[in-house]
Every structure is written in structure tokens, then in C-alpha cells.
């Protein structure tokens, strides 16, 4: 599997709720941002426009400590498993040594054609080989 990807971010005001704490939904955006960085790190884009899509079929987070406006934090994502049709990630969000949240995301490769429903398909070999290389 590729080495993990780490992004460093700073909490923006619009990401916080009335209590000044990052809204739970933002963590999913952070994970997705890191996922895209992981794909870019191996020379790929998750949106190649070649008739393939990557819908999310499962996503979860457990929250351990709050993040507040202007705090700096790291988002770390890695691939846990690649099957013939799916990719599963784990994500860790930290502030220094403090664990903020841990999450998982599972995506499936689908054929995406105009006027047709999505159909699960085999992940193309080029994508699997790039995401599986270290």
C-alpha cells in the first residue's frame, strides 16, 4: 500500500458551530480532502472523467476531542484494503499528540454512463497497481 498521506490544516470559522467547535460533518470533508491528496500522490485523480465513478458506500467517525477555530491539525489517511471492486480507508485526525477523531471510508468502483444506473465494476488494473505500490 502507498505510504500514508498527511495534510496539515487550520480550522476555519465557517467550519465551527455556535459553541466554536468544528461541526461533526466537517470531518468527512477533511477525510475526503486527504483521500484526493492520496490519489494525487500516486499520479491519479478520483474524478478522471472516463466513465468510472467512486460512490461512498460506508463512512463513519468516532470523536475523541474537540477542534476549535484557528487550531492547526493533521489529517492522516491510508488504504486499509483494496478488493476487486472496493477501497477501504482509515483516517486519523490529530492535534499534536491529541487524538481528535478516527474514521473509515469505503468506496466502490462503478461504471458511470449517461442514462444508465451505476454498476459495480472491477477496479482498473492501472489504478490498483498505483494505489498498491509503495
Report residue 31's pLDDT band, with 50, 70 and 90 as the boundaries. Answer: very high
Residues annotated as catalytic (active site), given as ranges: 17
Q: Is the pLDDT of residue 17 over 90?
A: yes
Set of cell numbers at residue 87: 477501497
Domain ranges of the chain: 5-132
55-83 core/surface letters (b: 16 or more CB in 10 A; e: else)? eeeebebebeeebeeeeebbbbbbbeeee
| DSSP label at residue 68 | B
Report residue 109's pLDDT band, with 50, 70 and 90 as the boundaries. Answer: very high
The angle subtended at Cα 54 by Cα 43 and Cα 134, nearest 5°, is 35
pTM, 2 dp: 0.92
> Is pLDDT larger for residue 34 or for residue 49?
34
pLDDT given at position 119:
93
Q: Which CATH superfamily is domain 5-132 in?
A: Hotdog Thioesterase (3.10.129.10)
Amino acid at each position: 500500500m502507498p505510504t500514508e498521506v498527511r495534510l496539515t490544516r487550520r480550522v476555519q470559522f465557517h467550519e465551527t458551530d455556535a459553541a466554536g467547535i468544528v461541526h461533526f460533518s466537517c470531518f468527512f470533508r477533511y477525510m475526503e480532502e486527504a483521500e484526493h491528496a492520496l490519489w494525487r500522490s500516486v499520479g491519479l485523480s478520483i474524478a478522471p472523467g472516463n466513465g468510472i465513478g467512486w460512490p461512498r458506500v460506508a463512512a463513519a467517525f468516532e470523536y475523541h476531542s474537540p477542534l476549535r477555530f484557528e487550531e492547526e491539525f493533521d489529517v492522516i489517511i491510508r488504504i486499509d484494503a483494496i478488493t476487486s471492486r472496493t477501497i477501504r480507508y482509515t483516517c486519523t485526525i490529530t492535534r499534536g499528540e491529541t487524538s481528535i477523531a478516527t474514521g473509515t471510508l469505503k468506496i466502490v468502483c462503478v461504471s458511470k454512463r449517461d442514462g444508465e444506473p451505476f454498476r459495480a465494476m472491477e477496479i482498473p488494473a492501472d489504478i490498483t497497481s498505483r494505489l498498491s505500490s509503495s
